[in-house]
Every structure is written in structure tokens, then in C-alpha cells.
Structure 1
Amino acid sequence: MYRVLLAEDEELVRRAIIATVNWEAHGFVLAGSAKDGGEALSLIFTMKPDLVVTDIKMPVLDGISLIRMAREEMDEEDQPVFVVLTAHSDFDYARQAVKLDVADFLLKPLDEDELASTLEKIRAKLDRKARSGILETLSGADPALLSLANADSHAGGESAELYVSQAIEEINRCFSSDLTLEDAASRLGISEGYLARVFRKKTGKTFFDYLTFVRMRQAMELLLDPAARIQEVAAAVGYTDQRNFSQRFRQVVGCTPTEFRQGKGGSKR
């Protein structure tokens, strides 16, 4: 199982998360918790967790400084995945976290379904990273052994996950175009219905929802540039209609593109 470190300064919130989240059901184990950013940074260096779930506002080190220092001080292969816990009043911090490539933002109080979806997505990412490391190690070994490893990863129960991984790669590569589920399924050589089913099962999101999430994540990064016009940002992430883009942005992020740029975050609830 993958190891999780929880960093949360509010004792009641920290205890509630420890007591109520079924980490094991999603392939994780809670290996430690920290009450401030300084303690969290120390545990990151010593424990080397796979995932860090951190609040933004904490004593000693805030969440942004924690993530930045871990990125700067650790080798890339040892760096954990970060998920940020945030609230309405923390929105300016969340904008900074976009630059640090966090995996997801979760609003407090935590929504169980959103957390479950995030954990499943991160587990799939960590699984791919682990497999890549194994294949890289094998690449210097017997070619027949490498071929066998590749064949095994494409077989049986792995095939669905492989298709989902390839669909996600397609989304990340083509999100700025008019990409559809039908397009992705055709390129993968499978039926549209099958891809829709396995994609939702593996990620907890529909293909369209995941595509929208990727587009909005990229849009947030582009909006950090004050010279970028909103219409240009919309076009860059696959929207020809600025109004449609703004509506989707508000649904996902919780505020309009203009409000995001001004640091005025809204709640999605």
C-alpha cells in the first residue's frame, strides 16, 4: 500500500480525518500525521511518503512553503504527490499552489466522494510510476525478460487500466482540440461504451468530467499571466465560446475566470 502523511494544524479536523477516512479501501495507509508545517517537512524527509495531504494555513510553515521546500530539497523520484486542503478564505494560497503542480484541491469540510475519487486517481498515477520504474530497471536486463514484463502489464485485469491510462494521455495531449469520447475510443481501437465504463470505474469521473478538469487546471495556470486575455485562454484549452468556458470554469473552480485572476475564490457548494 502507498504511505500517506496528513498535515493539519486543527486537532479536531485532523482527528476526524484520521478516524473517518478508509485509506486502505483505496490502496493507502496513513503512516503519520503532523500538527504544523515544520513537523510535516521533517516527516516528509524521514518517512518519504507517497502522498501528502496538507492544509494550507499552518504554523511554522504554511502548506505552500512546505510543498515548495520539499520540491527544492528532494530528488524528483522521492518527491511525494501533494493534495491541498483549502477553504474559501485560502483561495489566494490555492492560486499559488497551481504553480507547484499539486494533484488536487479539496475544500473543507471534506466531501467523502471527492476524496475517494482523488485517492483513486492518485493511486493509478503511483501505480503507473511504479511500473515505469520496474520496466526501466528491466530495460538493461535480458530483452526477453523485458518483453515478458511488457506483455504481462497488458494482459488480463491490467488491460482496462491500460486503456484508461492511454485515454488520460490522449486527454493531456489533445485537451485543446475538440476531443470527444468517441475520438479517444476510436484511436484506442475499442468501443465508446467500453471506454466510458472502464474510465469511470478506474477514475471515479466520466471522460467528459476528466477532460473538463484537465482543461480548467491548464486554464488556471494560463490565467496567472496577467497579459493573457480570457478569450485567448478559452481557445487555448479547447473552447471556442468564451461564455461556455466561463460557465464550465465556474462549475469546476467555484468562481469566474476574472474572479480567479483577482483572487476572489467562490465555493462550489
Structure 2
Amino acid sequence: MYNLLVVDDEFWMCAGLKKIIDRLDVPFTVTDSACDGRQALAKLEGGQFDAIITDINMPVMDGLEMMKEMRERQFKQPVIIVSAYHEFEYARTAMRLGAVDYLIKPVKNEELSAVLTNLQDLVSRRKEGPPAETETAADFTGLGGGVELVQTVLGTIERSYMEDLSLAILADQAGFNSSYLSRLFKIETGKGFVQYLREVRMKHACRMLKDTSLTNIEIAKQVGYWDEKHFRRTFKKDFGMTPGEYREKYQSKK
């Protein structure tokens, strides 16, 4: 069983999370709570906690300040943040400070269960130590916060957009749950994985149409589309013209 510290200035929120988590089929229990970041830091100094769930907006010391202080004091516990929908930018900042996941208020049981299941994988791996580096997972070892994971995925997309990429494949290579990676990807980029990958592919397709004499079929294959008709339909949907029309319009201006 893993120990959780819940940090929230509203007592009912701490008590409610404890009751919900006790009913969920997850190996976590809330062993203590704190009403602000400063109190949480004091409890981290003296207690044994495997992870933290914290609100963002709190008096005395908010969740973001607490996370900054945790980094300075080298506390390694993974942090899940809880925020209201309108606090999206706060949530993004927290992810960049190293938060591993987030929940939107009001917290739903099924979402909390999914987040804690992902957290279980992370905590158990950390307790076991870093995994042996392999060829497929080498780029992902040693990652800190969720933002670093997303940045690594973005780099992989930019290098390998022509390959058969999927979020499930990249999550498996990184050793993370695909739904967890999907949530991180969306909060960091503001886009879904499929949309982002398509935009990268179309960007390179536009470059090839303007700067090379490759045929549409050759370009389609080079940007990851083995079906030229699918490539043409997708291109027209994004740009309002066919690849041939795009080439004629922009090559004529060179």
C-alpha cells in the first residue's frame, strides 16, 4: 500500500478524497493531510509519503510555490494537482514544474481511479529503480516531470513523422500508460496527438511540394501516408486545395 499526502485548504476536500480513495480498487491510502503548502513541506520533512495530491489555490503557500520549494529541497515524491477548469494555465505551469498528472474539479471517481492507476505504475517503477536502457526506450530514461516526457515525444514526432507512429506505441516505449501520456500531451500542446502528428506531416508535405519535383505519391509516402488518396483528402481538408493546386500556386511564385 502506498501513502498519500493530500494538500487542500478545504477540510471537506481532504476528507472526501480520503473516503473516495479508500473505496477505489487502488493500492493507495491517504495517511495525512495539510491545509497549505508550507504545512505540507513540514510534513514531508517528517513523514513517509509516496505521492502527493494538491490543490493549486491555497492561502499561505499555494500548490505552485510548494512544488518549487519541493524541487529546491529535492523532494522526489510525484505530485498530482487538482484545479478548476478555468485554472488551465496554472495546471500547465504545474506540469512544467514536474507534476505527473492533474484532476479537474469537481473530481470524478472514474478519473481519480485512472490517475491513481497511472500513479501506481510510476511509484512502483521508482521504488524498483530506473529500468535497464533498451534501444526503444533509451530516449525516455531519466525523465523528470511530465513536460519533459511530452518534449521528448515531440522530438520523436519531428524526427520520425514518416513512420507508423501512435500514442500507444510511444507510451509503451516510454513505459507509461497511453491515457496518461494523452492527458499530458493535450495540456502541454493544446492539441491531441493525432492532430499534432498530422500538422507536422502536412508541414513537411508543403515544403516538399514547393521545393522538390517529387510526385504526390512519393511525397505521401515520405510523410507517412501509404494511401495517396488519403493523403490528398487530408491535405485538401487542411488547406482547401489539392496538393497539385498547392504546388502550382506556390512554385509559380519562386
Q: TM-score range by the shorter chain?
A: 0.5 to 0.7
> Is contact 2:118–2:180 with CA below 8 Å preserved after alignment?
no
Within-5 A mapping of 1:26-65: 26-65=26-65
> Is contact 1:7–1:33 with CA below 8 Å preserved after alignment?
yes
Other-structure match for 1:179:
165
Unaligned ranges ≥5, structure 1: 137-164, 189-198, 221-229, 244-269
Q: Quote the sequence identity (%).
A: 24
Other-structure match for 1:112:
109
Higher mean displacement: 209-218 or 58-67: 209-218
Alpha-carbon deviation of 1:21? 2.0
Other-structure match for 1:125:
122
Other-structure match for 2:224:
none
Give, in whole Å, the separation in 2 of the partners of 1:236 and 1:210: 17
Instruction: Supply the AA of the counterpart residue of 1:104.
Output: D
Within-5 A mapping of 1:199-210: 203=177, 207=178, 209-210=179-180
Q: 1:50 to 1:239 in 2, by over 3 A?
A: farther
> Are 1:216 and 2:186 an aligned pair?
yes
Give, in whole Å, the separation in 1 of the partners of 2:20 and 2:33: 14
Alpha-carbon deviation of 1:30? 1.3
Paired residues, number: 182
Q: 1:97 to 1:211 in 2, by over 3 A?
A: closer
- 1:7-35, Cα deviation, whole Å (9 max, x unpaired): 01112222222222227731112121012
> Are 1:81 and 2:78 an aligned pair?
yes
Give, in whole Å, the separation in 1 of the partners of 2:33 and 2:185: 33
TM-score, with length taken from structure 2: 0.58
Give, in whole Å, the separation in 1 of the partners of 2:51 and 2:9: 18
Higher mean displacement: 11-20 or 102-111: 11-20
Other-structure match for 1:258:
none
Instruction: Supply the AA of the counterpart residue of 1:180.
Output: S
Instruction: Supply the AA of the counterpart residue of 2:199.
Output: T
Q: 1:131 to 1:182 in 2, by over 3 A?
A: closer
Q: 1:7 to 1:212 in 2, by over 3 A?
A: closer
- 1:163-198, Cα deviation, whole Å (9 max, x unpaired): xx96xx6997656235137967xx99xxxxxxxxxx
Within-5 A mapping of 1:1-269: 1-22=1-22, 25-74=25-74, 78-132=75-129, 176=157, 177=161, 178-180=164-166, 203=177, 207=178, 209-210=179-180, 212-219=182-189, 237-240=196-199
Alpha-carbon deviation of 1:235? 10
Q: 1:10 to 1:81 in 2, by over 3 A?
A: same
> Is contact 1:26–1:119 with CA below 8 Å preserved after alignment?
yes
- 1:180-238, Cα deviation, whole Å (9 max, x unpaired): 37967xx99xxxxxxxxxx9xx94xxx4x455335324425xxxxxxxxx9xx989952
Instruction: Supply the AA of the counterpart residue of 1:110.
Output: V
Look at both structures and tell me which one has the larger radius of gyration over its CA atoms.
Answer: 2
Instruction: Supply the AA of the counterpart residue of 1:100.
Output: L
Give, in whole Å, the separation in 2 of the partners of 1:182 and 1:14: 34
> Is contact 1:23–1:29 with CA below 8 Å preserved after alignment?
no
Give, in whole Å, the separation in 1 of the partners of 2:103 and 2:25: 19
Give, in whole Å, the separation in 2 of the partners of 1:237 and 1:36: 37
Q: 1:235 to 1:16 in 2, by over 3 A?
A: closer
Q: Secondary structure at the match of 1:105?
A: strand
Give, in whole Å, the separation in 2 of the partners of 1:127 and 1:23: 21
Alpha-carbon deviation of 1:98? 2.4
- 1:129-148, Cα deviation, whole Å (9 max, x unpaired): 22226x89xxxxxxxxxxxx
CA RMSD of aligned residues (A): 4.1
